[in-house]
Copies of this chain bind each other. A is one copy, B any other.
Amino acid sequence: MMAESTRRGVPEATVGRLPGYLRALTDLADAGRGSVSSEDLAQLLGIRSAQVRKDLSALGSYGVRGVGYDVARLCDQIAAELGLARQRAVVIVGLGNLGRALAAYGGLAPRGFEVVALVDNDPALVGTTVGGLPARRLDELDRGAGTLDVGVITTPAEAAQEVADTLVGLGVRSILNFAPVVLRVPDGVHVRAVDLSTELQILAFHEHQRLLADARGDEVG
């Protein structure tokens, strides 16, 4: 069956860069720039211009040959693609140092994400407020919270799977997991994992390789 207008199917690698484009374009818009070339954007993101053009043309975007892309329009285009028209409701589960830091982070609301609920099962924390929001128990969450779009898990590793199960039960279909475990979730639920140790170990690997290369007296690769 033929597609109505262009068939959607933005490559995952492109999706991963869209927030970067959006950030750069927002900055350009704030600076009063009306249009921008793929080469400029490439510089700003640290990638190649052909990549930029491929990415943007995957959105069905309209650049102007010989001129570039209209900054404001491309902004809107990408924001729409990311579904940022609607504000998202975020719940943070786990109010340790990291959870509290994220709860207090001011960079979310202006980017379309509003923290609407905080959760911790530690009785000492329940009832206290962080950034104006009260902490509740996970099992009280269904009431009064309205629809939740995104769950952020900042619990210890041991608790994370159970939290994820509960969130999925509440209808959450997007999870950002900071706990160092692989979460099992049903099809249709998206999980992204952020792990500090993992990142550091990857950096360590490269440092180690450089060390080995230096010891061998290799040319710089």
**Which among A46, A102, A174, A220 has the highest number of chain B CB atoms within 10 Å?**
A174
Which one of A48-56, A62-70, A135-143, A193-201 is at the B interface?
A: A193-201
Q: A203 and B190 in contact (CB under 8 A), knowing A83-B208, A97-B100, A197-B108?
A: yes
In the bound assembly, the distance between CA atoms of A122 and B15 in angstroms comes to 37
Interface size of A by CB at 8 A reads 64
Whether, in the assembled complex, A90 has its beta carbon less than 8 Å from a beta carbon of chain B, the answer is: yes
Whether, in the assembled complex, A33 has its beta carbon less than 8 Å from a beta carbon of chain B, the answer is: no
Chain A 180-210 against B: per-residue CB contact (8 Å), 1 yes, 0 no? 1010100110101011111111111111111
Whether, in the assembled complex, A127 has its beta carbon less than 8 Å from a beta carbon of chain B, the answer is: no
Copies assembled: 2
Using Cβ atoms and an 8 Å threshold, which residues of chain B touch A88? 200, 204, 207
Q: A192 and B196 in contact (CB under 8 A), knowing A8-B212, A104-B97, A204-B84?
A: no
Q: Are A111 and B201 in contact (CB-based, < 8 A)?
A: yes
Whether, in the assembled complex, A40 has its beta carbon less than 8 Å from a beta carbon of chain B, the answer is: no
A110 to chain B minimum Cβ distance, whole angstroms, is 9
Q: Are B197 and A202 in contact (CB-based, < 8 A)?
A: no
- What are 19 contact pairs spanning A and B, CB under 8 A? A8-B212, A15-B205, A16-B202, A18-B201, A18-B205, A83-B209, A90-B200, A98-B105, A107-B197, A108-B197, A111-B197, A111-B201, A149-B207, A150-B207, A176-B199, A188-B220, A190-B203, A190-B206, A194-B199
Residues of A within 8 A of B (CB): 8, 10, 15-16, 18-20, 22-23, 44-46, 81-84, 88, 90, 96-98, 100-102, 104-105, 107-108, 111-113, 149-150, 173-176, 180, 182, 184, 187-188, 190, 192, 194-212, 220
